[in-house]
């Protein structure tokens, strides 16, 4: 199912992820893209991929290069195909700039339908002081060769799972019970994460990483789609080369909604990204 690692890894700027998230500036603040069908899960375009697309447009529009904090409200489901991103510069400062962006697609009459709207503040991660007083610790996850990806078993999720061909995803067996009909009952998901073509992580691929694991809902015994209502990501550090570790937890499943908190750790044990999303569940 998934390709074997290429002998020559793709590089940042020249990879599947870069090609599929690249936007073309049509005019100031207007960017076109053909949303790829390669980043779908159960026939839905992955929310983290969409956030990366919006993130690229804002990086072009704003004077600072790196997303520091980006908040997205998901309005209607995106489809592979033509889309336009419209950006607005809200404020530019010396160390931070703030922007807004919306992704639209087209209805049968060619009218724009808004899919996602985001607010984001950008800065320069390379300009931050290197003081690190992180008290959080990396997740306890077995070594990669003791973890499992989709290629290690039958496809557990029906429907198009094209995204699994684009990712190197190795799940902690302690969070894989759902795939074997025995969900743990604990709202946790952990995995080693990378891109299948070997491209190293960067701030934009971190936007993908926080939304690329199976839903914690599966381990809570829930099935079906778990659509994201809102997702906020903090990018705290440029990730070092090498695989990432992603740990997600849900502690408040109630009233038909749940939160998913994701932490992304790089190969140098830096907590490079933190996110929280609010998602809807079908109670079962």
* CB-based contacts of 231, cutoff 8 Å, min separation 6: 47, 51, 71, 72, 74, 210, 211, 275, 276, 277, 278
Q: Determine if 253 is a binding residue for a second copy (CB under 8 A).
A: yes
- CA–CA separation, 148 vs 105, rounded Å? 36
For a second copy, give the closer residue by CB, 34 or 114.
Answer: 114
107 near a second copy, judged by CB under 8 A: no
Which of 19, 82, 91, 153 is close enough to bind a second copy by CB under 8 A?
91
Residue 104 C-beta-side C-alpha neighbours within 13 Å: 15
14 vs 29, 53, 73, 191, CA distance in Å? 24, 15, 29, 25
Q: Which residues contact 54 (CB under 8 A, 6 or more apart)?
A: 70, 72, 85, 101, 103, 116, 118, 120
Among residues 40, 236, 260, 266, the one that binds a second copy under rule CB under 8 A: 236
Q: State which residue, 155 or 229, has the beta carbon closest to a second copy.
A: 229
Q: Which of residues 262-281 bind a second copy (CB under 8 A)?
A: 270-271, 274, 276, 278
Instruction: Give the binding range for a second copy (CB under 8 A) out of 9-17, 20-28, 36-44, 134-142.
Output: 134-142
Instruction: Specify the residue, 5 or 257, whose C-beta has the smaller distance to a second copy.
Output: 257
Q: Which stretch binds a second copy (CB under 8 A): 44-52, 72-80, 141-149, 161-169?
A: 72-80
Residue closer to a second copy, measured from CB, 168 or 201: 201
Instruction: State in angstroms the smallest separation of the CB of 41 from a second copy.
Output: 22
Q: What's the closest the beta carbon of residue 6 comes to a second copy, in angstroms?
A: 33
* Residue 22 interacting with a second copy (CB under 8 A): no
Task: Give the C-alpha separation, 86 to 104, whole Å.
Answer: 8
Residue 49: its H or E element: helix 47-61
Structure tokens at 61: 């529009």
Please select the residue that binds a second copy; options are 107, 108, 130, 145, rule is CB under 8 A.
Answer: 130
For residue 15, which of 166, 148, 234 has the smallest C-alpha distance? 166
d(CA 71, CA 229): 11
The answer to whether residue 25 forms part of the interface with a second copy (CB under 8 A) is no
Alpha-carbon gap, residue 184 to 178, rounded angstroms: 7
DSSP state of 5: P
For residue 126, which phi and psi values (nearest 5 degrees)? -70, -15
Task: Name the token pair of 98.
Answer: 């703030």
106 binds a second copy, rule: CB under 8 A: no
Residue 131 interacting with a second copy (CB under 8 A):
yes
The pattern of x and - marking residues 144 through 173 that bind a second copy according to CB under 8 A reads: ------------------------------
For a second copy, the closer of residues 20 and 172 by Cβ is 172
Q: Which residues ranging from 186 to 215 are in contact with a second copy (CB under 8 A)? A: 186-187
Q: Which residues bind a second copy (CB under 8 A)?
A: 68-69, 71, 73, 75-76, 90-91, 96, 98, 100, 114, 117-121, 125, 128-136, 186-187, 220, 229-230, 232, 234, 236-237, 250-257, 259, 270-271, 274, 276, 278, 283
């Amino acid at each position: 199912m998934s390709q074997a690692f290429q002998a020559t890894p793709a590089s940042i700027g020249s990879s599947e992820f870069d090609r599929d998230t690249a936007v073309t500036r049509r005019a100031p603040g207007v960017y076109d893209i053909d949303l790829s069908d390669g980043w779908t899960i159960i026939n839905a375009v992955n929310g983290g991929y969409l956030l990366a697309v919006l993130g690229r447009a804002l990086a072009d529009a704003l004077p600072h290069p790196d997303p520091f904090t980006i908040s997205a409200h998901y309005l209607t489901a995106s489809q592979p195909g033509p889309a336009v991103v419209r950006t607005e510069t809200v404020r530019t400062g010396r160390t931070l700039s703030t922007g807004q962006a919306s992704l639209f697609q087209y209805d049968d009459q060619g009218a724009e339908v808004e899919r996602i709207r985001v607010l984001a503040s950008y800065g320069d991660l390379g300009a931050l002081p290197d003081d690190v007083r992180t008290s959080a610790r990396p997740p306890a996850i077995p070594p990669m060769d003791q973890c499992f990806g989709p290629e290690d078993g039958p496809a557990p999720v029906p429907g198009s799972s094209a995204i699994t061909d684009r990712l190197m995803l190795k799940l902690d067996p302690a969070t894989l019970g759902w795939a074997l009909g025995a969900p743990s009952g604990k709202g946790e998901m952990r995995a080693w994460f990378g891109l299948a073509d070997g491209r190293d992580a960067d701030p934009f691929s971190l936007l993908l990483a926080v939304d690329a694991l199976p839903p914690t809902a599966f381990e809570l015994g829930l099935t079906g789609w778990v659509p994201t209502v809102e997702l906020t990501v903090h990018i705290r550090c440029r990730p070092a080369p090498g695989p990432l570790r992603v740990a997600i937890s849900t502690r408040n499943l109630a009233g038909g909604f749940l939160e998913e908190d994701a932490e992304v750790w790089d190969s140098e044990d830096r907590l490079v990204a933190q996110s929280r999303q609010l998602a809807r569940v079908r109670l079962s």
